[in-house]
Amino acid sequence: MDKYIGFYIGPNKISKLTKSKRSTYFGKEVYQIEYENGIIEERPKKIIEKIADIQKYDWTELRDKISKIIVEQFLAILLESEIKLEDIDYILQLTAKSLNTNLEQATEYLWGKKVYDRTTADIQRVLTNLKHQTDGGSTKHNKHLPVRETTNPA
């Protein structure tokens, strides 16, 4: 994987690749990518090999490259399954519904409550916790909402 150091993923130049402790859903390798601009992310090895390029490219092209990989894999599954053409729309709708349901469940788990039970005070608590966990009290994540400590009057 060191051959990709100096390559680009979108506009970001790769400075370091480290094999992650985790793997993909199917047990394939995942790598932590460090970029020259300080951004760090993880991606599957298979994706890195297909999207890393010696030339810098933009975010739209990155999305297009990744989407093409996913569509090719998805179409291969559909072809292998020999499903009826009339079932494709239903499968796509069911896939989107399943993804949205999983996202909702994960979000509820992380927040500790359903979306309709969340309040602005919950946002305040999350941002306050984030503030204390990053940069010793200052964070880039709360630019739009004022975060202030709250105390309960005794």
Q: What are the extents of the domains in the chain?
A: 2-82, 86-111, 119-154
Which pTM was predicted? 0.71
pLDDT of residue 154: 44
CA distance 111 to 48: 32
pLDDT of residue 134: 63
**Per-residue DSSP letter, 53:** B
pLDDT of residue 136: 57
Task: Copy the structure tokens of residue 115.
Answer: 């979306």
* Tally of residues, the chain: 154
What does the longest C-alpha to C-alpha distance in the chain come to?
A: 68
Please, what CATH class does the domain formed by 2-82 belong to? mainly beta
Local mean pLDDT, 10-residue blocks, the chain (154 residues): 97 98 96 97 97 98 97 96 96 95 91 87 83 58 45 45
b/e map 102-119, b = 16+ CB within 10 Å? eeeeeeeeeeeeeeeeee
Phi, psi for residue 68 in degrees, rounded to 5:
-60, -40
Burial of 33 (0-12, 13-18, 19+ CB in 10 A): buried
